[in-house]
């Protein structure tokens, strides 16, 4: 089996559980993003794969070979740290060569690997500089280059963009997307930034509360979240989730909101559990409507102008907050009374345990 496999990995620090039975299989050359909030266990899981932490139980396999009992240097893994971890007294060339020299590779091979990696990352002019002479983005490239020269089977990236400013983060994100096309290895990136995960990953592994909440392609995770947590965490701004009551009847579920409004969804009624429900609405499924044309009435609390669209944060008559969309050239203002039109076909429903239910025809 090629790629990385995790089998029931568990970890606790003292009496505090950190990971509770993580199981995952990756495919050859796949880019995986571990996405979750701070404290969810994603960085600990990355360190277990790298050999910097020891799991309490479970197995880590790479290309079908168990590696969790091997020292870090024998695993075929290279890790890029959030803080770069470059040696300040060494040149870029020597930073990239350091691990290879410790492995006693011939100098000719070391030079070839450095030349290849520096060409891929476009850092040839920087090879004789010290880290203090580099920008943050250049240091990040060097840290990635130091990993590339090891020719690993698995790249581990621990929040590699978090130390960069917004403009440089966007540029480096593009570079990472290009880089993954040039390396013959699985790439796993830890991030709490859902935009990074959505942009770069083939599949996202959403981690929270010590467990994997969902694994899937970015748009599947966005459009069909497994539960309430995933629905709220993935997507910016977050999905609006409102208390709802199932309206008796036949066919797809219809639900009533707290203000008395009724929304017709396309969620199969027979799949819903008994008890309390919630409805989830992405901003794009809640549009500002012409007066008298909507099915909800709201008061605007904030208007966020993004150029191509306008986000409208408002409250329904019962005080429930809702995020809606309007056109880019919207002239709405705080305090305005507006009508909202709900696209119930794109609505999600959640049971009392947080499990999500989606429109049957989305697949």
- Is 343 a domain residue? yes
Contact at 8 Å (CB) between 337 and 297? yes
Contact at 8 Å (CB) between 154 and 49? yes
Prediction pTM value: 0.86
Q: How many CA atoms lie within 13 A of 248 on its CB side?
A: 0
> In the predicted model, is pLDDT for residue 2 greater than 70?
no
Q: Which position has the higher pLDDT, 39 or 48?
A: 48
- Is 182 a domain residue? yes
Tell me, what's the pLDDT at 361?
62
Tell me, what's the pLDDT at 192?
85
- Is 320 a domain residue? yes
Same domain, 303 and 214: no
322-353 tens-digit pLDDT: 999 999 899 999 999 999 999 999 999 999 99
**Alpha-carbon gap, residue 205 to 190, rounded angstroms:** 10
Beta-carbon count within 10 A of 100 CB: 20
Same domain, 246 and 356: yes
> In the predicted model, is pLDDT for residue 1 greater than 60?
no
Q: What is the mean pLDDT of residues 267-296?
A: 90
Q: What is the mean pLDDT of residues 81-89?
A: 80
The tally of domains found in the chain comes to 2
Rg (CA), the chain: 24
Same domain, 11 and 156: yes
Same domain, 297 and 333: yes
The set of residues, in sequence order, having a beta carbon less than 8 Å from that of 331 and lying 6+ positions away, is none
The residue out of 205, 226, 247 marking a domain boundary is 226
DSSP-H helix ranges across 36-181: 42-50, 92-102, 107-121, 136-148, 166-179
Q: Which residues, listed in sequence order, are joined to residue 241 by a DSSP beta bridge?
A: 280
Q: Of 157-166, 195-204, 303-312, 317-326, which gets the smallest average pLDDT?
A: 157-166
Same domain, 72 and 213: yes
The residue out of 182, 202, 226 marking a domain boundary is 226
Same domain, 208 and 243: no
- Is 232 a domain residue? no
- Is 311 a domain residue? yes
- Is 70 a domain residue? yes
Same domain, 140 and 105: yes
Tell me, what's the pLDDT at 293?
85
Q: Of 48-57, 120-129, 244-253, which gets the smallest average pLDDT?
A: 120-129
Percent of the chain residues topping a pLDDT of 70: 96
Q: What is the mean pLDDT of residues 210-224?
A: 95
Tell me, what's the pLDDT at 168?
66
Same domain, 138 and 287: no
Same domain, 16 and 96: yes
**Alpha-carbon gap, residue 34 to 189, rounded angstroms:** 6
Q: CATH number of the domain that 173 lies in?
A: 3.40.50.300
Same domain, 300 and 174: no
Q: What is the mean pLDDT of residues 218-231?
A: 95
Same domain, 243 and 299: yes
Domain that holds residue 57: 4-226
Tell me, what's the pLDDT at 167?
66
The residue out of 226, 252, 282 marking a domain boundary is 226
153-172 tens-digit pLDDT: 898 988 877 766 666 677 77
User: CA angle at residue 232 from 229 to 235, to 5 degrees?
Assistant: 130
**Alpha-carbon gap, residue 53 to 36, rounded angstroms:** 19
Q: What is the mean pLDDT of residues 288-315?
A: 91
- Is 231 a domain residue? no
Q: What is the mean pLDDT of residues 220-226?
A: 95
Same domain, 179 and 273: no
Q: CATH number of the domain that 306 lies in?
A: 2.40.50.140
- Is 107 a domain residue? yes
Contact at 8 Å (CB) between 323 and 341? no
**Alpha-carbon gap, residue 20 to 44, rounded angstroms:** 12
Tell me, what's the pLDDT at 164?
65
**Alpha-carbon gap, residue 90 to 95, rounded angstroms:** 6
> In the predicted model, is pLDDT for residue 279 greater than 60?
yes
Closest residue by Cα to residue 25 from 192, 188, 178, 183: 188
Tell me, what's the pLDDT at 165?
65
Q: Which position has the higher pLDDT, 102 or 137?
A: 102
Tell me, what's the pLDDT at 362?
45
Closest residue by Cα to residue 356 from 284, 279, 283: 279
Kindly report the average pLDDT of the chain as a whole number: 89
């Amino acid at each position: 089996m090629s790629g990385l496999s995790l089998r029931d990995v568990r970890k606790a620090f003292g009496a505090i559980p950190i990971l509770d039975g993580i199981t995952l299989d990756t495919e050859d050359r796949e880019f995986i993003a571990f996405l979750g909030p701070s404290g969810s266990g994603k960085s600990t899981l990355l360190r277990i794969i790298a050999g910097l932490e020891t799991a309490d139980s479970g197995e880590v396999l790479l290309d079908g070979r168990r590696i969790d009992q091997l020292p870090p240097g024998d695993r075929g893994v290279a890790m890029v740290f959030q803080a770069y971890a470059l040696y300040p007294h060494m040149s870029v060339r020597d930073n990239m060569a350091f691990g290879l020299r410790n492995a006693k590779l011939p100098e000719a091979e070391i030079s070839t690997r450095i030349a290849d990696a520096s060409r891929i990352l476009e850092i040839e002019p920087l090879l004789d500089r010290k880290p203090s002479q580099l920008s943050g983005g250049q240091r990040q490239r060097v840290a990635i280059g130091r990993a590339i020269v090891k020719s690993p089977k698995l790249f581990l990236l621990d929040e590699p963009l978090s130390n960069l400013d917004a403009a440089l983060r966007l540029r480096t994100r593009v570079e990472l997307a290009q880089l993954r096309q040039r390396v013959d290895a699985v790439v796993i990136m830890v991030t709490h930034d859902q935009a990074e995960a959505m942009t770069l990953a083939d599949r996202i592994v959403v981690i929270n509360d010590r467990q994997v909440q969902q694994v899937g392609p970015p748009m599947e995770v966005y459009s069909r979240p497994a539960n309430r947590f995933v629905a709220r965490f993935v997507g910016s701004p977050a999905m609006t989730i409102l208390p709802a009551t199932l309206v008796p009847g036949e066919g797809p579920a219809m639900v009533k909101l707290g203000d008395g409004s009724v929304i017709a969804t396309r969620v199969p009624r027979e799949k819903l559990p008994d008890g309390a429900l919630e409805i989830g609405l992405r901003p794009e499924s809640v549009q500002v409507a012409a007066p008298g044309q909507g099915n909800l009435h709201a008061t605007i609390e904030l208007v966020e102008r993004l150029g191509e669209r306008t986000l409208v944060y408002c409250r329904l008559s019962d005080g429930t907050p809702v995020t809606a969309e309007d056109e880019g050239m919207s002239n709405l203002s705080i305090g305005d009374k507006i009508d909202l039109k709900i696209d119930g076909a794109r609505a999600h429903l959640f049971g009392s345990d947080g499990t999500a239910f989606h429109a049957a025809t989305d697949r």
